[in-house]
Chains A and B, each alone.
Chain A
Amino acid sequence: MYLWIKAAHVTSLIVWMGTQLCLPPLLTWLACTPSAVRDRLAARLHRRVRTVANAAMLGTWGFGLTLMTLGGWADDGWMQLKLALVFVLSGAHGMWSAHLRRLAEDPRYQPPDWFERAAAAQLAAVAVIAVLVTVKPG
């Protein structure tokens, strides 16, 4: 059973992160495209984030917390750091979703300057999580 839950966790994670890591560059690119194209693509992408990525994020949390309980890792430092990073990534998910909606609804919308830094931080967080969960330091 453990391996099935792990497989579901990894699948959810890939779907969630597959969408989330693409969003900052896509938002920046869409903001520079003609309005007719940008409105339609942004609305479609926003729907995808609200359905597929939302479900994948919930799956990642649900399966991940189950694995943590089964593995008895709840009190480990690496797991608490991982939980904190996933919590921040979840917040970023809400933030990207809101910016996509603004892009779809506001023709004057321009992505903020901090997008590139946020995208880099997000990528770094994913890398740290991968190391933590593989090495399980401490």
Chain B
Amino acid sequence: MDEPGGSSARWRGPIGRLRVAGLVEGTTLVTLIGVAVPLKHLAGMPAAVSLLGPVHGLAFIAYFVIAMEVVGAGELARRDAWRTALAALVPFGTFANDRFLARLQAGDVPPSGRSPGGADA
């Protein structure tokens, strides 16, 4: 891992949890679209979709809840929140967005979602 503090640093804080949730969500989405759906339509094996569909659904919900937690914590600006939400809808989107979240977590991007006084932007 290239992050300071080793691989466990990825898990720390709301952004760390969002990164992990994003990688799980992205992996289940890519597996669903790239493996399970072709198996169903080309090989007549719907079992993979039946199994992976609910798994991906729960991963998507978890990603959304954690994303809202990060927004509520004031660690994502509104534009970045939309970008993070939309990333979950596109295959490989959360993987691409992970680079941005890693920079945010490392402090290379200033958190801009929290306005002075504690109220939301």
Contact = CB atoms under 8 A, between A and B. Distances in A.
B118 A98 contact: no
Majority secondary structure of chain B interface residues (helix, strand, loop or mixed)? helix
Contacts, number: 59
A57 B72 CA distance: 18
A7 B57 CA distance: 22
Interface in B62-81: 64-74
Interface in A43-91: 57-58, 61-62, 65, 87, 90-91
Majority secondary structure of chain A interface residues (helix, strand, loop or mixed)? helix
Interface residues of A, number: 24
B70 A98 contact: yes
A98 B120 CA distance: 12
Contact of B65 (A57, A101, A106): A57
B68 A92 contact: yes
28 contacts: A57-B65, A61-B61, A62-B58, A65-B54, A65-B57, A87-B64, A90-B68, A91-B64, A92-B68, A93-B68, A94-B64, A94-B66, A94-B71, A95-B68, A95-B71, A95-B72, A97-B72, A98-B14, A98-B70, A98-B74, A99-B72, A102-B72, A106-B118, A108-B117, A109-B118, A110-B117, A110-B118, A112-B119
Given A101-B73, A110-B119, 12 more contacts: A62-B58, A65-B54, A90-B64, A93-B68, A94-B67, A95-B71, A95-B72, A96-B72, A97-B69, A98-B73, A108-B117, A109-B118
